[in-house]
Amino acid sequence: MGATIHDVCKGVKVLHDSNILHQSIKPYNILIKNGTIKVSEFCFVVTAHDSTSLISSN
């Protein structure tokens, strides 16, 4: 379990390093097949640049 959480966090870090913010991280969006873990469901994704305008408008 700890390795799974660690791998998910590494995947999210790759997204963040690319200025991509996944706005719907939840167990349903974590895929595991043959020991490979992937983050899925990217329809609620914004770039970090877009999110600053969303945050400042609230």
Structure confidence by residue, pLDDT tens digits, 1-57:
678 889 989 988 988 888 888 888 888 889 999 988 888 877 766 776 655 554 443
The fold for domain 2-56 equals Transferase(Phosphotransferase); domain 1 (1.10.510)
The residues, any chain, with a CB within 8 Å of residue 51's CB and separated by 6 or more, are 21
The domain locations on the chain are: 2-56
Q: In angstroms, how far is CA 20 from the centroid of its own chain?
A: 8
pTM above 0.85, yes or no: no
The partner residues of 31 in beta bridges, in order of sequence, read: 38
What is the pLDDT, as a whole number, of residue 55? 45
What is the pLDDT, as a whole number, of residue 42? 72
